Structure 1
Amino acid sequence: MESTRNPQAVIDADTYSVRRTIHIQAPLDKVWRTVTEPALISQWFGQITLTGTGASALGTIGWPGERRVPIRVETFEPQSQVSYRWCNEEGPLPETVDEQRSTVFTFTLEATPSGTQLTVVETGFEHTSDPAQVMADHRGGWDGELDKLVALLERNA
């Protein structure tokens, strides 16, 4: 089966946010686990470690050849919504998530007759040193990472 084609992420410069809504031909519970369980997140996104579960779980996330950054689960509404706050600034990283140097990305899931609709919205780019550039980088990142999520879930559906 060929992976579902989805629209690309969009930037809203007025609200300093990046948004992408995709459809995945997989059941909601499977998509939920794949965006909340570290072992599954690490199969399509960055290598993540978390201590604790649910809201306030702390950890780090990183990609091969890049530094690991602090991450914290902000909200956790099972089968519906999860959000993560992570640091996005260049330079020395704080030990924990710095509210003034971070953005928040939220996954919202909704069951559909043929699978799951997932929307990611990342906000807080006004707190970065170069909002336009960071939003452009993350727009491209969400396109690539969520395409990997769709391919992983639909391949294993």
Structure 2
Amino acid sequence: MTDNEASVVDESTFSVRRTIRIAASLDKVWQAVTEPEYISRWFGQTVLDGAGVGATGTMTFPDYGSIPLRVEARDEPNLIAYRWGNDDALGGPTADLEGGSTVFTFTLEEVAGGTQLTVFETGFDNTSDPIANLESHRTGWDEELDKLVALLEGAS
């Protein structure tokens, strides 16, 4: 499995970023970050009512519950952004995708030997405990993206 650097928190911009390399084609990585049946294999159980901007649905995690989700931007095969309601300090998911929600964006780039994927999550300044939520999501992205690498490199 490709060894990647950990996520980085920027407290000045209330953001988390992680860039990884995956020994898999751009098409496979795009499918894994955009199609609910593939997202569900490495992240949370995902249901969406469509694929385009504005599509809504949920992402469900064991011991956490369902989180509302909406596609905010899509530029196939290089960028997809999701908004999710997840203010951990408020006791879990928010129902309206406004207060306490953050946006995470996957940017994909074809590179020698595979794909470079960057996740950038913003909006933590809108949560009830920005620093705690930043740290929670930093460790979350490390765990979840490592699962994605293992899944795709095992299938390549």
- Mark yes or no: TM-score above 0.5: yes
TM-score (normalizing by structure 1) = 0.94
Distance (whole Å) between structure 2 residues aligned to residue 78 and residue 8 of structure 1? 26
Aligned runs of 1:1-150 on 2, under 5 Å?
Answer: 3-89=1-87, 90-91=90-91, 93-98=93-98, 100-150=99-149
Determine if contact 2:9/2:135 at 8 Å carries over to the other structure.
yes
TM-aligned CA deviation for residue 94 of structure 1: 4.8
CA distance in 1, matches of 2:135, 2:95: 26
**Compared CA separation, residues 91 and 136, structure 1 to 2 (3 A):** closer
Unaligned runs of 5+ in 2: none
> How far is 1:65 from its partner?
2.3
Aligned-partner residue type, residue 156 of structure 1: A
Q: TM-score, normalised by structure 2?
A: 0.95
Runs of 4+ residues over 3 Å off in structure 1: 91-96
SS in structure 1 of the partner of residue 152 of structure 2: helix
RMSD, aligned α-carbons: 1.2
Structure 1 unmatched runs, 5+? none
Residue 49 of structure 1: how far off its partner (Å):
0.5
Q: Please say if residues 109 and 116 of structure 1, whose CA atoms lie closer than 8 Å, have aligned partners that are also in contact.
A: yes
Q: Secondary structure at the match of 1:14?
A: coil
